[in-house]
Amino acid sequence: MICNEKMYALGAKRSVIRELFEYGKKRKAEVGEDKVYDFSLGNPSVPPPKEVKEALLRLLDTPNETALHGYTSAQGDKGVRETIAKNYKEKYGFAFDPDLMYMTCGAAASLAISLNAVIKDEKDEVLTFAPFFPEYRVFTEKAGAKLVAVSPAEGLDIDVEAFAAAINAHTRAVILNSPNNPSGVVYSEEKIKAVAEVLKAASAKYGAPIYLISDEPYRELIFDGKKAPSLPLYYKDVIVCYSYSKALSLPGERIGYIAVSPQATDAEALYLAVCGAGRALGYVCAPSLFQLLVKECDAYTGDINAYKENRDLLYGALTEYGFTCAYPSGAFYLFVQSPTGDASALSEAAKEEDVLVVPSDSFGCAGYVRIAYCVSRDLIERSLPAFRRIAEKFGLRK
Ligand code: PLP
């Protein structure tokens, strides 16, 4: 092999999600756009809030175009970081230090940078809670460590005992994602507190901080009056990885940030490692125009009510047809149990009805399919007879 084999393997093998998305495009060309119910991709279906376009137009009209499109400092514009820290304090009650924040190209870059900043040794392990976003494995392994998944408790919740049992002297970091992709589950404040207690005890036992990397692209997409707890309020060694991809519906613009908790052990050194990892990975100076845009729009969110209505419609229908899934209070995913326990049996049966749903194996949790309901309400309504037929095929509905 003339090039790096591991990188070749990653490039040559598309993710299951992308594979299905590409199949959907092909299938739509064959049978018609409206005959395929594509629930494969987590691409926001609600437009960005109107303030985004207004701010963009205002920004484009500013006289200093070279500054608008020029390099900012490697870690991002200071004024942008200050505004984000101020808004976060108002909303979540925790004060980030703008000098410990780093603007990035979305949560993917935030995670890759954070993992590279904390992983020290090839024996290092990174724990995460199943089901989990499949790219965690890619980022962790590239950063030189091993990803270990902790199986969930009832309702796809965190199993605190299993989590405590999975920690050992090599555990360097834990990735926590709430609201969760792929389950839509929002972990309760009690669970977060319990995780924090386990981490405090383990950090003391092993004599080194275990970092809690909080992957929060769906932080603002929460329903049912729930609120995402701010993790730095419960544990000190936290690195928040945020993205505007979902809350502002800007996934293609690649903008987000890392915030190192000012209370983290030797926070300045940790932040310098974040800056170093950003530099080494080539993630310096996040898109300048969109840094300025999020400075103006950080406090806004797209119409989450549209997602809530989709959730209500689809969750209601699927459970009525006999399917089982954990109740999703956030993000825009449903994680549905395969009646046979075999994920591909359900995803293949769905495919026969031109319903595209992702089998769960790559999410570290066998026997489910993920339905991304960030689609139009009309598409969901039209897909329901197909879901009913799928339920009938499995004998769920007579
Ligand atoms: N983390 C989770 C849980 C996600 O679902 C995604 C994207 O879908 C990402 C990270 C990456 O997000 P971004 O588009 O901001 O890179």
Instruction: Yes or no: say if 292 and 286 are a contact pair by the CB < 8 Å rule.
Output: no
Closest CA to 228 of 82, 91, 106: 91
Residue in the block written with tokens 């502002």? 248
DSSP annotation of 325: B
What CATH number matches the domain at 70-297, 3.40.1190.20, 1.10.3720.10, 1.20.140.10, 3.40.640.10?
3.40.640.10
| C-alpha neighbours within 13 Å on the C-beta side of residue 234 | 20
Rounded distance between C-alpha atoms, residue 56 and residue 280, angstroms: 31
Quote the ligand 1 centre to 242 CA distance (angstroms).
Answer: 9
Query: Helices marked H in 233-342 — which ranges?
Result: 267-281, 288-297, 304-320
Q: What is the pLDDT of residue 15?
A: 80
For ligand 1, say whether the CB of 108 is within 6 Å of any of its atoms. Answer: yes
pLDDT per residue, tens digit, the chain (398 aa), is: 899 999 999 888 878 888 898 899 999 999 999 999 999 999 999 999 999 999 999 999 988 888 899 999 999 999 999 999 999 999 999 999 999 999 999 999 999 999 999 999 999 999 999 999 999 999 999 999 999 999 999 999 999 999 999 999 999 999 999 999 999 999 999 999 999 999 999 999 999 999 999 999 999 999 999 888 899 999 999 999 999 999 999 999 999 999 999 999 999 999 999 999 999 999 999 999 999 999 999 999 999 999 999 999 999 999 999 999 999 999 999 999 999 999 999 999 999 999 999 999 989 999 999 999 999 999 999 999 999 999 999 999 65
pTM, full prediction: 0.96
For ligand 1, say whether the CB of 256 is within 6 Å of any of its atoms. Answer: yes
Rounded distance between C-alpha atoms, residue 369 and residue 361, angstroms: 9
- Domain ranges, ordered by start, for the chain: 5-49+302-393, 70-297
Quote the ligand 1 centre to 108 CA distance (angstroms).
Answer: 6
Q: What is the pLDDT of residue 398?
A: 56
Q: What is the pLDDT of residue 33?
A: 92
Q: How far lies 199's CA from each of 174, 176, 302, in Å? A: 9, 12, 34
24-28: Cβ within 8 A, 24+ apart = 24/356, 27/354
With the C-alpha atoms ordered 314, 316, 322, 327, is the resulting torsion angle positive or negative? positive
Does 5-49+302-393 carry CATH code 3.90.1150.10? yes
